[in-house]
Amino acid sequence: MAPLVVFCALAAVVIWGASPVATKLAIADLSPLAVSVLRTAIGGLAALPVALLMRIPLPVGNSQRGTLVLSGVCGFIAFPLLFSIGVERTSANHASMILASLPLFTGAIACLWDRTVPARMWWVGCAVALAGEIWLIGSRDVSGHTATVEGDLIVLGANTFAALGYVAGGRLQREGYAATGTTFWGAGLGAILLLPVVPFLITEITTAEASFMAWSGVIYLAIGVTIIGYILWYYALGKGGITRMGLFQFFQPISGVILAGLLLSEAIGWTFGMASAVILFGIWLAVRAK
Distances (CA, A) of 76 to 176, 235, 250, 257, 284: 22, 17, 21, 24, 30
Instruction: Tell me: pLDDT of 146 over 70.
Output: no
Give the residue from 90, 221, 109, 248 showing the smallest Cα distance to 155: 90
Mean pLDDT value across the chain: 83
Answer yes or no: is pLDDT of 144 > 60: no
**Which residue has better confidence, 288 or 102?**
102
Nearest CA to 100 among 220, 272, 288?
272
pLDDT of residue 218: 92
Residue 274 above 60 pLDDT? yes
Of 273, 224, 280, the C-alpha closest to 250 is 280
Residue 235 lies in a domain: yes
pLDDT for residue 130: 80
Q: In whole angstroms, give the CA distance from residue 261 to residue 269.
A: 10
Q: Residue 61 has what pLDDT?
A: 84
Model confidence at 286: pLDDT above 60: yes
Q: Is residue 95 part of a domain?
A: yes
Q: Kindly report the number of other CB atoms within 10 A of residue 276's CB atom.
A: 19
The range of the structural domain enclosing residue 51 comes to 3-117+147-242
Neighbour tally for 53: CB within 10 Å: 8
Tell me the percentage of the chain whose pLDDT exceeds 90. 24
Output the pLDDT for position 264.
78
List of residues 6+ apart from 108 with CB closer than 8 A: 163
Spatial CB neighbours of 87, under 8 Å, sequence gap ≥ 6: 20, 23, 24, 27, 32, 95, 151, 155
89 pLDDT higher than 70: yes
Task: Say if 201 falls within a structural domain.
Answer: yes
- 270 in a structural domain: no
Task: Look at residue 1 in the predicted model and tell me its pLDDT.
Answer: 65
Q: Domains in the chain: how many in total?
A: 1
CA–CA distance, 110 with 174 (Å, rounded to integer): 12
> Does the structure show a pLDDT above 80 at 157?
yes
Considering Cα of 28, then 34, then 37, then 41, what sign does the dihedral take? Answer: negative
More confident residue, 118 or 76: 76
Evaluate whether residue 215 is within a structural domain: yes
Using 50, 70 and 90 to split pLDDT, how confident is the model at 143? very low
Torsions phi, psi for 159 (to 5 deg): -55, -35
Q: Residue 103 — pLDDT band, cuts 50, 70, 90?
A: confident
CA 269 vs. chain centroid, Å, equals 25
Position 254 in a domain: no
pLDDT attached to residue 275: 76
Residue 177 has pLDDT above 80, yes or no: yes
In a domain, 184, yes or no: yes
Read off the pLDDT band of 158 (50, 70, 90): very high
Instruction: Give the per-residue pLDDT at 142.
Output: 47
- What is d(CA 50, CA 72) in angstroms, rounded to the nearest whole number? 17
The pLDDT of residue 272 is 65
pLDDT digits (tens, 9 = 90+) for 247-257: 777 777 777 87
Return the exposure string of 66-98: e unless at least 16 CB atoms fall within 10 Å of the residue's CB, then b. ebbbbbbbbbbbbbbbbbbbbbbbbbbbbbbbb
pLDDT tens by residue, 56-65: 899 888 889 9
- pLDDT at residue 266 above 80? no
**Between 139 and 30, whose confidence is greater?**
30
Which among 27, 43, 49, 16 is positioned nearest to 222, based on CA atoms? 43
In a domain, 251, yes or no: no
Tell whether the model's pLDDT for residue 23 goes beyond 80.
yes
